[in-house]
A and B are shown apart, each in its own frame.
Chain A
Amino acid sequence: MVKFVSAKIAVAAVIASVLPALAGDAEPASVRNCTWCHGASAQGYAPAPRLAGQRLQYTENQLRSFIKHTRDNPFSKQYMWGAAANISPSTMHYLAVYFSQEPPKAANDGDKEFAASGKALFEDGNPAANTVSCAVCHGPNAEGIRDIPRLAGLSYFYLKRKLTEWGEGYHTGAKAPMSGIASKLSSNEIEALASYLSFVK
């Protein structure tokens, strides 16, 4: 008799644990694993970048790159290699789609004084110095497309770190031309771009 009751309680407990996800307002368990670090509503927190509103193909590519260890910058190695290690391909796709649909909020954490020169650099590049226009690939509003990431509103600290790390020789996740591009940027240009982008809605 007791065994039967415990079994019923066990079944009820399992159902209860799934109910929040079925209800639709709470985050699914797999998403909660991400937002621990990537912040409430996936807006980013400390070194972990905002995932909300990111191009789904880009996010999926990055998750795969953590498993393949192609993306090798220090924080990726320290946190994401482990975090992504056991994510199945279908969950990866689910997460990428989920985050792409979360409304992004601009970080607004750059230096406002640098933002203006950053905008000019983002849109026109600097042909005399052979610096490319970022907009040609990332879009005029840094919105990205397909597997090219949205940069609009990402944290100044994150963007600055990525651009600097690529200049130091760390690899991109997928086949992106960013290593070569970033290594040609001066530190002033990195400051300007990272600041400008952090304010773009």
Chain B
Amino acid sequence: MKVSNKSLALLTTILAIVFSAAGRAEDADRAGTSKQSLQAKIEYCTTCHGSSGQGYHGFYPIPRLAGQQTQYIENQLLAYIEHRRENKYMYSVAHVLSPATRSALARHFSELNPKPLGGAPKGLVVTGKKIYEDGIPETNVPACMACHGGEAKGQGAIPRLAGQLNDYIISKLLNWNLERGRDPARPDISAIMLPTSHNLTKAQVAAVAAYVGHLQ
């Protein structure tokens, strides 16, 4: 049976549409993560970290991810997976993520900008600002601003502190090596904060945490 040119053209067109539609679905598969599964993962993260990544005061303070440096988020996720930073909840959720998903999640949260969750004592902000900007030379505490930036937005691997939960910051600064630096064979950049965290008094930690916690 002879196939006419017209019907051949029609058949070819239909096939082209069918296969390119399949191709478009594959386009959504950005870097190995389908749009749908990324959305589901984002929802999963925000269940604990807040609908806009602003953080949440659970039994444990769950930190703000919104506006965070992408490199910092990716580094932390990898540190959890490699048990250099030890937290059983974060290991549990992180170790199922592909590198591509980790990047996509970091990018998503870095672009959010909700208001700070708040809750820190306002009276400490002035003292905290002084420590943040000038450091405490007498006890070898450098100015936080020098690395974390004038607006506490961080850069690269150095985290944003602006708007972070104050009780999260307090808990981390007072217990720096409880979670971090857990693999002595593989020391990482987190070690940089250890001396500073030791040299700050509890009151100073509370003040700095109150200050950065209220920064937008």
Contact = CB atoms under 8 A, between A and B. Distances in A.
**Does B associate with A?**
yes
Interface string A97-137: 00000000000000000000000000011011010110111
Contacts of A133: 89, 92
Contact of B60 (A130, A132, A136, A177): A136
B63 to A, nearest CB: 12
Interface string B18-33: 0000000000000000
B48 A137 contact: yes
Contacts of A37: none
B215 to A, nearest CB: 24
A130 B40 contact: yes
Interface in A121-179: 124-125, 127-128, 130, 132-133, 135-140, 143-146, 148, 177
A181 interface: yes
A125 B47 CA distance: 12
B4 to A, nearest CB: 53
A82 interface: no
A106 to B, nearest CB: 19
Nearest to A142: B59
Which among B44, B48, B56, B58 has the greatest number of chain A C-beta atoms within 10 A?
B58
Interface string B85-116: 00011001101100000000000000000000
Nearest to A123: B88
Given A124-B92, A125-B92, A137-B48, A130 B43 contact: yes
A148 B58 contact: yes
Contacts of B58: 136-138, 145, 148
Contacts of B40: 130
Contact of A177 (B47, B57, B88, B92): B47
A145 B59 contact: yes
Nearest to A131: B44
Contacts of A132: 44, 47-48
Contacts of B93: 125, 127
Contact of B41 (A130, A135, A146, A177): A130
Interface of A: 124-125, 127-128, 130, 132-133, 135-140, 143-146, 148, 177, 180-181
